[in-house]
Structure 1
Amino acid sequence: MRPLAAVVRAVAAAAALAALVGPASAGLFDDDEARRAILDLRARIDQSQKASETRDADLAEQLRQTRAGVLELNNLIEKLRTELAQLRGSNEQLQREVAELQRRQKDVQTGIDERLRSFEPQKVAVDGREFSATPDETRLYNDALGLLRGGDFAGAGAAFAAFQKRFPNSGYAPSVHYWLGNAQYGKREYQAAIASFRSLLAAAPDHLRAPEAQLAIANCQIELKDAKSARRTLEELQKTYPKSEAAQAARERLASLK
């Protein structure tokens, strides 16, 4: 099938040729041939128009489908953007929750560690001796000593006695005997004080406070008007701890007793 433009060009060429030949050649084209040519031309024009309309319809359909596809793609992209934003928000929320859980776990672990440390023995040094003691032992000992230094002899005596009952094998025990004796001496409980000082001497005769404990025993005996026992205690002190400051005080005290 020839295109419409070619048919038009053929008809135009035939008309031009007839004009040149003149009336003498007009008989070459009778009415039937002309009508057939016109009908053929019309048929070709109709076919061309139909083909053009079909192509236009196809293009319109393709354009419609393309637009629908683009719209669907845009909707899908927007949906994916929304889902991505939601996922990002969920991820940020999860990160915050994980961070909060980690912080809480750290706080719990720190609390557990602190509680464990409150029970774990630690090395301490008291009166020239090093030993291990729990934080509770150290706290109760220092509390009792603070009462004694504050002049609360009754409170200090009760606190040291409670310490002895709770921690009978503590490394603080020799010092506790000594300070308990001092608290009892402050309350004028001389017999009880002598017993506490002697407990120190029996448990740790080489203790830093041992010479002072023996001197304190003599002082208690003097307060009890037992000069004879006091002299024996002071003489024993000079023999046992001759280089101590307590021994020098014992010599001076013996002189006063004579």
Structure 2
Amino acid sequence: MRVLRLSLAALAVGAAFAQPAHAGLFEDDEARKYIKVLEARIQANDDAAKQRSEQLNTQMQEQLQTLRRSLLDLNGQIDMLRGEVAKLRGTNEQLARDLSETQRKLVDQSQSVEARLKPLEPQKVSLDGREFQVSPDERSQYEAAIGIVRRGDFTEAVAALNGFLKRYPSSGYTDSVRFWLGNAQYGKRDYKDAIATFKAFVSANADHPRAPEALLALANCQIELKDNRNARRTLDDLIKTYPRTEAAQAAKERLAALK
């Protein structure tokens, strides 16, 4: 600014002295006044510029402060978000672990339930050339009753077989149970009951694989009761109806002995 003042003053002086001497437009006092006016204007411009500079500087400082606060707020928000993300990540990891543990427990429980239910599921059984479904308890009781017959405890066997028929009247084991019931009754020497059981068995199951054996057992019961006439009739029916069976061959021998 000082250089600018000097230049303007020099210009003013130069302009004053550059005029022809005879014009007399500028005297020394007038030149000084003019210079002072210019200096005042320059000072005013300097003051205005300085004031403007200070205002701009103040505004910039305020803007910087505002920007710093905004940055601080933003950084705080970022830190908060990072904390929430970390917390959510930890929660998700815990949820994933909980889910995995729950799934494992469900699998274990499912396997446990299946293991418990499996013994209760119906089972396919093949007996005397026939297949049918039975419950585990049904099969267990049948096998227990047949076991009693095989060990020769016929009184207990009759009770067990009759009990089975009452509990499972529609069982696939029914025909076999009746056959063995007749044998148990024969073993007890309850020949009349055995005859009734074998007759009912053959009447209801003429095509059963054990029907020839039932007729032979029926004839034996009649023989034990000294009813040889009906015994011969039974043996004749056996030979005619089931001629190629082992029971028929035995019937021929028994029939020959009766004569």
Answer yes or no: same fold by TM over 0.5: yes
Identity %: 44
Q: Counterpart of 1:226?
A: 226
Query: Structure 1 residue 30: deviation in Å?
Result: 7.0
- Looking at structure 1, the residues matched to 213 and 80 of structure 2 have their Cα atoms a distance apart, in angstroms, of 90
Paired AA for residue 47 in structure 1: A
How much has 1:242 moved relative to structure 2? 1.6
Match for 1:50: what amino acid?
Answer: Q
TM superposition shift of 1:51: 1.7
Does the aligned pair in 2 maintain the 1:227–1:257 contact within 8 Å?
A: no
Q: Does the CA contact (< 8 Å) of 1:148 and 1:156 recur in 2?
A: yes
Which residue is equivalent to 2:253? 252
Deviation at 1:210, TM superposition (A): 0.7
Query: Is the Cα–Cα contact under 8 Å of residues 153 and 184 in structure 1 kept in the other structure?
Result: yes
Distance 2:156 2:107 in 1: 42
CA RMSD of aligned residues (A): 4.6
Gaps of at least 5 residues in structure 1 are 1-6
Unaligned runs of 5+ in 2: 18-26
Query: Corresponding residue for 2:218?
Result: 217
Output the CA distance in 1 between the equivalents of 2:153 and 2:69.
96
Structure 1 residues 55, 133: CA separation in 2 closer, same or farther (over 3 Å shift)? same
Q: Is contact 1:119–1:136 with CA below 8 Å preserved after alignment?
A: no
Question: What is the alpha-carbon distance in structure 1 between the residues aligned to residue 139 and residue 126 of structure 2?
Answer: 10
Q: Shift in Å at residue 209 of structure 1? A: 0.7
Do residues 59 (structure 1) and 60 (structure 2) align? Answer: yes
Between 144-153 and 53-62, the greater mean CA deviation after superposition:
144-153
Q: How does 1:145-184 map to 2 (within 5 A)?
A: 145-149=146-150, 153=154, 156-184=157-185
Partner Cα distance (1:256, 1:35) in 2: 172
- Asked whether 1:78 is paired with 2:79, we answer yes
* 56-65 or 31-40, larger mean C-alpha shift: 31-40
Q: Is the 8 A contact 2:179 2:201 kept in 1?
A: yes
Instruction: Give, in whole Å, the separation in 2 of the partners of 1:64 and 1:149.
Output: 106
Cα distance in 1 for partners of 2:138, 2:96 equals: 46
Match for residue 8 of structure 1 among 2, 8, 30: 2
Q: TM-score, normalised by structure 1?
A: 0.67
